[in-house]
Amino acid sequence: MLLFLCATLATAPAAGASPYDHDTAVHASALGAVVLAAGAYRLWIAPDLPGGLSCEPLPGETRCNKNTLNRFDRGVVGNYSPDWLLASDLTLGVMIAGAATGVALDAYAAQTTTPGFDLVTDALVIGEATAAGLLVTHTLKIAIQRPRPTQYTEGTYVGSFEHRVSFPSGHATTAAALAAAYATTFTLRHPDSPWRWAVYASGTLMALATSYARIAGGFHFYSDIVAGLAIGATAGIAVPLLHSREDLEVTPLVTSGGGQLLITWRS
């Protein structure tokens, strides 16, 4: 993917300054606070939350009853593979490295006097899009507390709180947000480049690969993945567009049949 990014940027028309307009110091501080809060939750709060089964197993059984699941998700029960779980982490890591490399190459290839500032500006917007998606996802995880497929599969560990928060998928959210935010950034920088569709396509494939690995690894149901991808893609497109230098106007309209929103985009 890194080679693909290099080739894409090399053939794309030179970009100008960052397409985003925001107070870098304020946004960097806000994103840093979110990252610190997330780290504190993972290190000090989550380990102390209760684990174990979060359902009532059938008499004589030690796992949740898979027949309570919908037919769409039931097929995941029985999946468990540490190798696939590792693959999901690796593909997500490649996506993070690819997005960072692409943003850096674009910033320093542009004909501006502030490539470092442009790099930070673009990276912050992509980071905020990912953080926004994860905020929604983790809020839903804690509110819903859906058991992971591991709670329905014999012989798997279910002792930590992580096995009680399956919906939506955090990996799918992160992958989709990264892919959409980077592709949107590339499109705003290179609005006439035919390569923008290739960037969207490659990011989508990587997000789907990450998501499939979570299913094959036995850590998520199909519906977890669908929800995570939808949340991530929405955040990955909406947050960059809201920060764009282009003017976005949202006008509420009242009609006889109800209400509407008129969205006007001026470049």
Question: Is pLDDT of 14 > 80?
Answer: no
User: What's the predicted TM-score (pTM) here?
Assistant: 0.88
CA–CA gap between residue 82 and residue 201 (Å, rounded) = 28
Contact present, 143 and 122 (Cβ < 8 Å): no
Give dist(CA 123, CA 27) in Å, integer.
11
Percent of the chain, pLDDT > 90? 66
C-beta separation of 114 from 219 below 8 A = no
Q: Are strands 258-266 and 247-255 parallel, antiparallel or unpaired?
A: antiparallel
- Delimit the domains of the chain by residue range: 2-266
Of the pLDDT bands very low, low, confident and very high (cuts 50, 70, 90), residue 213 is very high
Burial of 51 (0-12, 13-18, 19+ CB in 10 A): middle
- By C-alpha distance, which of 127, 118, 130 is closest to 21? 118
Distance between CA atoms of residues 73 and 76, nearest Å? 6
- Backbone torsions φ then ψ of 234, nearest 5 degrees: -60, -50
Q: What angle do CA 91, 93, 96 make, to 5 degrees?
A: 115
Q: How many CB atoms lie within 10 A of CB 162?
A: 19
C-alpha–C-alpha distance, residues 227 and 129, integer Å: 16
Q: How many CA atoms lie within 13 A of 190 on its CB side?
A: 25
Looking at 5-9, 50-54, 86-90, 141-145, which range is the least confident one?
5-9
